[in-house]
Amino acid sequence: MKEGRTISSYLDDANLTDNLERGVHQSYALDRGAVRPRLTVGRGRTRPVKHATLLTALIVMAAVGGTTQALAPRAHAMPAPDTEFVYDVMVRRQYNFASPDEAISYGYKICDKVSNGESYAQLMGEVKSDVVPNDEFAANYLVSYAVNLLCPAQIWQLRHSAAGYRPPPE
């Protein structure tokens, strides 16, 4: 043993050597004039390296995910107008049609009346007398859905005919 050195100083040197072999380094920081050891893993750059690696992985995942989504075509399937009309009047609102075919045929009759120039007030009166439920809301629903789904080219004519319409007093 050299003079002036204690056993604990040799142990400290042995621990430092062990730590260096494992990749753990001691660095010193001046804190209020004192030198304190601070252990850092690797070369003291572990956090930025980990963050950079994580960021790179996220960018790669986003790029790969974006490409696979761009390659897959999106499905924009809409039901046929007849199917949607039957659903709207027989399932949603439950009008008293005996069959889906009867509902579709009634919808096309509404379209014919609109295209022949029948007034909105007259059309509403006929619908209220033909189907149940027969209130103003139900008749308006049936007429608007028939024209919107079965004969969309007649929407402008229906709107023009309905301008200024006032429901009759109940």
Of 16, 40, 71, which closes a domain? Answer: 71
Give the ranges where 24-154 is alpha helix by DSSP (H): 46-71, 81-86, 100-115, 120-130, 136-150
Per-residue pLDDT of the chain (170 residues; tens, 9 = 90+): 455 555 555 555 555 555 545 544 444 444 455 555 555 555 555 455 566 777 777 777 777 665 555 566 666 677 788 999 999 898 888 888 999 999 999 999 999 999 999 999 999 999 999 998 889 999 999 999 999 999 999 999 999 999 989 988 87
Residue 2 lies in a domain: no
Peptide bond into 100 cis (omega under 30): no
Total tally of structural domains belonging to the chain: 2
Same domain, 126 and 87: yes
Same domain, 133 and 114: yes
Of 45, 71, 97, which closes a domain? Answer: 71
Same domain, 12 and 32: yes
pLDDT of residue 119: 93
Helix-strand-coil split of the chain, %, nearest 5: 60, 10, 30
Residue type for position 10: Y
Same domain, 93 and 30: no
Which among 99, 97, 107 is positioned nearest to 147, based on CA atoms?
A: 107
Q: Which domain holds residue 108?
A: 81-162
167 and 136 Cβ atoms separated by less than 8 Å: yes
Same domain, 56 and 107: no
Residue 167 lies in a domain: no
Same domain, 67 and 85: no
Which among 50, 24, 20 is positioned nearest to 39, based on CA atoms?
A: 24
Same domain, 33 and 105: no
Residue 169 lies in a domain: no
Q: What DSSP string runs through 98-127?
A: SSHHHHHHHHHHHHHHHHTT--HHHHHHHH
End-to-end, the C-alpha distance of the chain in Å comes to: 115
Same domain, 86 and 146: yes
Same domain, 151 and 110: yes
pTM for this structure?
Answer: 0.55
Same domain, 88 and 51: no
Same domain, 157 and 105: yes
123 and 110 Cβ atoms separated by less than 8 Å: yes
Residue 124 lies in a domain: yes
Residue 111 lies in a domain: yes
Same domain, 50 and 102: no
